[in-house]
Structure 1
């Protein structure tokens, strides 16, 4: 189905009204994925000339988001069995990735929008799971042992300021001391103390009276640590490039040469360098964001 046919003769939910040179679509979410791919090209082309902040620009952008929700659903299905998060939450997060892709897409990239958008959507969903999943998987036998240990502590408590020893707990439950220790360690996975809680003692072992918290004694975050995993992922992707593309990446980002300088050194036009660099970066980006 051609773009002309979509816009003038039967686009689902569309009528003859125009907004910023674009057809008015009443319900863009009902457009079939195949039709949305063709119609999106028209909207992206017009989006580049519409003034940002205007009603027309907002309409074009919002319609692109609604038309391409099928890409979000497609990507979200890959995470259906991951964690306890519902599909609705995953789709909302994936839509953020879709919006980022729409705002950064350029028709001159010579790549189809779905190919460009999927890595953004998947990357956003992966970050969501990375930042919000804190589940600690504890074997069932240790879950049950945790309950038994809690009961035993209450039964064996002699004085308010002394807990029963490992040996006492082991004898009471008829377990080995190693089993009791394993259960006590596993119990720590059920509670998370606040970093704002005052620490029990100061550096000299005395009771803390200064209001110093656990957070005050922790090391600061090193943003460079996050790059380590990225470098490890990027290295084999760079190694898989042919010599020409790898040289262009090295000259552009390693030697900080301009595209014109690279073109002069390779004997090609700046436009050719731009196309090669754009395609190479898209390949590397997709490789870093694709699910293993």
Structure 2
């Protein structure tokens, strides 16, 4: 008991000495020169360093090195010395509040592993304290609703505070996994993507594919994505297997050349014409009571306007009651070609003339049927297809 009493008395004497030294410092400060003021300030700070160290040791064991806490406490002590006003009370009381506030600010602003708003930081502390109290009262872990009721806040705020608490000391990616082995936690997240380097090539190829005619695009898709054989593709388009082989060879050669140059070369069609020159031809002749329009070439976006204008002209100059469009020479058709035929059908309907589609190849026939043009097929052609 006597030892405890002597310790308390010694502490009180230290505080009294600090208060007396602070009063003396404040009384001399106003009349001293600048260099003398710095000396008096350093003397008071040196005298109060043990006091700041004792305040810092109250917060040890909370995840921060004691040396860092002592540095923060000393910074708070310097601020207390510079702002001390004897008329407002005891220096030790003011210094204790200033130093403690500096240490708490350090924990709030510097020790969180991720940035968390001040409001959530304070709420996290309140939730932790309320959890301890309710666990003791209920003999179990409290629910989110019970914590919200105790703290008089919403359940969403409680959940946000619980989630934010995990950001105080996040796990290090360099932390070991398990007790043995050199593996680290960061090794468990993701891996090098072997296909990452091919992304640029894939994007380039995707853009180049749209520069190809519709037939060549479909043949490539069937061969390399649908795993069709060349014979299957030939049967689909109604052409020979050798022709499919030539089309594939020419298309792949063009793609390789386009990949190796900044500006892709022009697509050369099978007739030797570049892709920006229409390779489709129309011929109009009269056969009995019909006007026959023979179309040869790919019916795509490059030739769709030519077909639309040619059929519209044939309808306007038609003295008969029916226009027959021979599609035997059309190996492929895309959406633009279908739109041209639909527009021609509407022009013929308004003119009171019947528009018929004759001898479409299998692939073209299926495309037109899907587009709703099956009703325009010439009956003899339809009957041959059914047989």
- TM over 0.5, shorter chain: no
Return the TM-score normalized by structure 1: 0.36
Greater C-alpha radius of gyration = 2
Return the TM-score normalized by structure 2: 0.28
